[in-house]
A and B are shown apart, each in its own frame.
Chain A
Amino acid sequence: MGFPKVKILLVEDNLADAKLTTKLFTRCEDIDKDCVETAGDGEQAWQMLNDSEGLRFNLIFLDLNLPKINGLELLTMIRESDKLSHLPVIILSSSIANSDMKKAFELRANAYLKKPADLMEYQALMKKIDGFWFQSCKLPRINA
């Protein structure tokens, strides 16, 4: 025991969005406050991912619209890193432009989600995320 089953890294620059998403994550059954950490930009995210030897996070929710290093660049870096290449990355973006999606899939994002328009939709979406990713899917083991 000791390590959580799920440890999410939420990379989101919009504070309000980050807070909302975190709140909804924590409403899920198996997720509590410790299971979610937020990075405000790509650089910070990269630091957080690399600051320990082992795996600190096993699920990344990534917004594409980030300052400094944008989402797709971060994704490329993750996929090219030996240590982190296997991490499931879920894009959570307000844009559903085909070009963004295509690039994301080329870079081996696991899934692509559109940020819902309002709370209701978000709650419905969260249910599905929870159902698969937190309840059913087997994620890499946390050891850091």
Chain B
Amino acid sequence: MRISSKISLGFGIIIILMLGNISFGVFNNTKTQEAIDEVKETSFLLESIYNLERVVIELQLSVLIFSKTGNASSIRQVTKIDQKIEVLLDLINKNSQGVNKKELIDKVNSFRKNYLGGFKRYIDDRKNKDKLYENCRSLAKEIKSDLSSLIKGDINFIKASNTFSNTENLMVNFIEEPDSSIVRSFSRELIAVKEKISELKTGDLAQKIDQYEQKFSDLVQSIRGYLFLSNVVLAGQVSEFKYTTKSFRENLEIRENELLMSLSNDSQVTSNVEISLAILLVALGLFSSWKIGHSISAPLTKMTDTFSNLSRGQVVNVIPGLEYKDEIGEMAKAAQVFKEKNQETEELLKRSQQAELIMKTQTEELGNVNSELEQFAYVASHDLQEPLRMVASYVQLLGQEYKDELDEDAMEYIDFASEGAKRMQLLISDLLNLSRVGRIDSEVEKVNSSEVFEAVCKDFGERLKLDDIKIERGSLPVIDANPRQIHQVMQNFLGNAIKYKQKEKSLDFKVDCEEQKDYWVFSFQDNGIGIDSNHFDRVFKIFQRLHSRSEYEGSGMGLAIVKKIAEQHQGKVWIESKVDQGSTFFFLIRK
């Protein structure tokens, strides 16, 4: 696998694990959240039910107050409380989600309906009862007044009236606190009253008392009725309501506990799972990073070492990492190439060292050859000059000593012989000169070319002072050259100019120097006999002469020597010339 893939894989694993952990956490969180929501709802419902129950108690209380007072405000209170219930139900409806709520709300609503319906009948009954009571009281009053009018003197009437007042009191008591014993008492009392008055002629009083009894009975009935309503029906409804709410409550409480329990359990589990996952993650992460890192860094380190060795020019025998198929493998391949190049370089180096050695040897040999040549040239010219000297000297001596005995011809022979020897000497001397250029006498120093030219002119001495020679000098610089050789060059050019000047004209000789970027160009101009352009190259060749010896003397070496000197100074010579008009010799020398 490629390194990048490995790294991606490593990170991928870690990321996946992290994501897993996170999603597990999130999922759990959601679940917890749900549980918590449910718990909240349950709590809310419970609370609501508590509230409802309380409110219903309030309701009961108001009904009770009404039953006691019969006040309209109590009725209003009941309505208010009922509205409270409605608000509560509304809240429940809004804030809870479960199926429970519908059931609850329906049950409560049905309770309300029944209860309030009951209450309404209760109100009517009470009104009725009040009316009846009023009737009773008014009747009682009548009776009482009748009785009072009859009382006069008869104790029985007074007793009867008292007893009747008892019944009134009983009635009031009964109204206040309905009790069957009161009813019996009432009846007895009333019987008593009736007995008492039966002896008397009361007329319609007995009727009235019967009416009174009847009315009281109705009253009792009505009171019984509404008592039944309030104590049984309404109370029963409340009981039923309470029972319902209780069972709801109980269910909800159980549910709540269940939820809390499971919540706590769940969170414990989650925490355990997460911790384990985290540990696993860390362990895995460390392991995979170590593994991957190692699998990358180990070969990388080897690679680095290999490369640093290679960069130092060493030839590493075995390139590690070639077996890898990934980037390391590629680097290893590159290192392989590198190593091969190094090997090549080493070989090239070896070869160049060998070549250098060979060159050194050859240069030494060349040096040896050169010095041998030099010695040879020197010795040759030297040894050649000796016998030549002898020939020249003795031939001349002959001429001198035996002048008297020799005829003209003999003298001429001697002349020729002498001349021959002299020329040979000159030739040898020139040859020696030529061989010297480039070996001895070639130290370069600062040379004032102007001074050298003056020295050359001085050497020519008297010849220059004749009026058929005019010499013009330009500005001649200080150059880096060998002074003797520059002297030779200038001497040669001036000498040639003088030698090859036109016979009828005077020589106009001009020497000048032009400065260029990397070199100096000397020019030696004359108005002599000139040179045909075909011969421009020939003149610089050794022993080449353009004229016969009878016309112009010379060994044919001068310009060859000049050319050699120019080459010695990394320069060159060339000519511009026209026959019969003159020549300009250019001498270029490097700065």
Interface residues of A (CB under 8 A from B): 14, 16-17, 20, 23, 94-95, 115-120, 122
Contact = CB atoms under 8 A, between A and B. Distances in A.
Q: Which of A94, A95, A119, A122 has the most CB of B within 10 A?
A: A119
B382 A16 contact: no
B270 interface: no
Contact of B394 (A20, A95, A120): A20
A95 B397 contact: no
B393 interface: yes
A95 B393 contact: no
A119 B425 contact: no
Given A117-B425, A118-B421, A20 B382 contact: no
Interface string B377-410: 0000010011011101110110010000000000
Contacts of B393: 20, 118-119, 122
Given A94-B385, A94-B386, A95-B382, A118 B422 contact: yes
B397 A23 contact: yes
Interface in B244-298: none
A52 to B, nearest CB: 33
Contacts of B392: 117-119
A117 B397 contact: no
B396 A14 contact: no
Given A20-B393, A122-B393, A117 B385 contact: yes
6 contacts: A14-B390, A117-B389, A118-B422, A119-B392, A119-B397, A122-B393
Nearest to A16: B390
B391 to A, nearest CB: 9
Interface residue tally on B, bucketed by range: 10 to 19
A118 B385 contact: no
Contacts of B418: 118
Nearest to B401: A23
A95 B383 CA distance: 10
Contact of A118 (B382, B386, B400, B425): B425
B175 to A, nearest CB: 173
Contacts of B382: 94-95
A106 B105 CA distance: 147
Given A16-B390, A94-B389, 20 more contacts: A14-B386, A16-B394, A20-B393, A20-B394, A20-B397, A94-B382, A94-B385, A115-B389, A116-B389, A117-B389, A117-B392, A117-B422, A117-B425, A118-B396, A118-B421, A118-B422, A119-B392, A119-B396, A119-B397, A122-B393
Q: Which 6 residue pairs are nearest across A and B when measured between Cβ atoms?
A: A119-B396, A118-B392, A119-B393, A16-B390, A117-B425, A20-B393
Nearest to A15: B390
A103 to B, nearest CB: 17
B144 to A, nearest CB: 189
Contacts of A122: 393
A124 to B, nearest CB: 13
A115 B392 CA distance: 13
Contacts of B385: 94, 117
Contacts of A20: 390, 393-394, 397
A22 to B, nearest CB: 12
Contacts of A17: 389-390
B378 to A, nearest CB: 8
Nearest to B389: A117
A117 B429 CA distance: 10
A115 B393 CA distance: 11
Contacts of A14: 386, 390
A104 B354 CA distance: 46
A15 B429 CA distance: 24
**Residue of B385, B388, B390 with most chain A CB atoms under a 10 A cut-off:** B390
B206 to A, nearest CB: 197
